[in-house]
Amino acid sequence: MSPLSIFCLVAVLATATTVCARGNSIRDNLKPTEWISPRELENAPSVDEITFEKLQETPAEEAAELVNQIYHLSQLSRKMEPSYAPSPSDIPVYTYTPTGQRVNTKLNQLVSTVQQQPHFGQQEVTIFITGLPQQKLRDAARANQKLIQAYLQAYNGQVQVQGGQYADSEQDTSSSEESFNSKQTKPSGNLVVIDLGAVIRNFEELVLLDINRVGAAIGNTLVQLTSQTDVPQEVIYIVAQGIGAHVAGAAARQYTRQTGNRLRRITAVDPSKIFTRKPNTLVGLARGNADFVDAIHTSAYGLGSVARAGDVDFYPNGPSIAMPGTDNIIEASLRATRYFAETVRPGNDRNFPAVAAESLQQYKNNNGNGRRAYMGIAADYDLEGDYILQVNAKSPFGKSAPAKKQNSYHGIHQTSGRISSNN
At 180 the pLDDT is 47
- Pick from 217-221, 359-363, 412-416: least confident: 412-416
- 46 or 25, higher pLDDT: 46
Answer yes or no: is pLDDT of 168 > 80: no
Q: Find the mean pLDDT for residues 40-63.
A: 85
Q: Which SS3 state, helix, strand or coil, does residue 193 take?
A: strand
CA–CA gap between residue 315 and residue 302 (Å, rounded) = 13
Task: Report whether 265 contacts 292 (CB < 8 A).
Answer: yes
One-letter identity of residue 300:
A
At a CB cut-off of 8 Å and minimum separation 6, what does 99 contact? 156, 158, 162
Q: What is the mean pLDDT of residues 148-174?
A: 64
pLDDT score at 391: 96
β-bridge mates for residue 241, sequence order:
269
Q: Where are the beta strands (DSSP E) in 204-281?
A: 236-241, 263-269
Amino acid at 171: Q
| pLDDT value of position 158 | 64
Coil/strand/helix, residue 238: strand
CA dihedral 28, 30, 31, 35 (to 10 degrees): 120
- How many Å apart are CA 234 and CA 255, to the nearest integer? 13
Q: What is the pLDDT of residue 366?
A: 75
Mean pLDDT value of segment 224-231: 94
Determine the pLDDT at residue 312.
Answer: 97
Compute the distance between CA of residue 208 and CA of residue 74 in angstroms, rounded to an integer. Answer: 11
Per-residue pLDDT, 178: 58
d(CA 50, CA 70): 10
Average pLDDT, rounded, for the chain: 83
Q: Which fold has domain 92-391?
A: Rossmann fold (3.40.50)
Given this model, what pLDDT does residue 166 score?
40
pLDDT at 77: 65
State percent of the chain over pLDDT 90.
64
Measured distance CA(78)–CA(277) in Å, rounded = 9
* Radius of gyration, CA atoms only, the chain: 22
pLDDT tens profile 276-325? 999 888 899 999 999 999 999 999 999 999 999 999 999 999 999 999 99
User: What is the per-residue pLDDT across 236-269, written as a single tens digit (0 to 9) for each?
Assistant: 999 999 999 999 999 999 999 999 999 999 999 9
From CA 336, how far away is CA 307, in angstroms rounded? 15
pLDDT of residue 160: 54
Q: What is the pLDDT of residues 75-127, one digit of tens each?
A: 776 677 899 999 999 999 999 988 889 999 999 999 999 999 988 999 999 99
Is 329 exposed, middle or buried (CB count within 10 Å of its CB: 0-12, 13-18, 19+)? buried
As a whole number of angstroms, the distance between CA 61 and CA 373 comes to 30
Choose the weakest-confidence range: 49-58, 210-219, 404-413.
Answer: 404-413
**Do the Cβ atoms of 167 and 360 come closer than 8 Å?**
no
93-96: long-range contacts, CB 8 A cutoff, minimum separation 24: 93/192, 93/193, 93/194, 93/195, 94/192, 94/193, 94/195, 95/120, 95/190, 95/191, 95/192, 95/193, 96/148, 96/152, 96/156, 96/161, 96/190, 96/191
Name which of 179-193, 211-225, 309-323, 361-375 the model is least confident about: 179-193
pLDDT value for 116:
93
CA 326 to centroid of chain Cα atoms: 17
Band of pLDDT at residue 420, cut at 50, 70 and 90: very low
74 neighbors 207 (Cβ within 8 angstroms): yes
Q: Which of 18-22, 101-105, 286-290, 346-350 has the lowest mean pLDDT?
A: 18-22
Across residues 343-348, what is the average pLDDT? 95
pLDDT of 175 reads: 57
Residue 408 has pLDDT above 50, yes or no: no
ω into 45 cis (within 30 of 0)? no
Q: Read off the DSSP letter of residue 176.
A: T
Do the Cβ atoms of 97 and 103 come closer than 8 Å?
Answer: yes
Domain boundary assignment for the chain: 3-76, 92-391
Question: Mean pLDDT over residues 54-79, rounded?
Answer: 86
Please tell me the distance from the alpha carbon of residue 347 to that of residue 205, in angstroms, as a whole number. Answer: 39
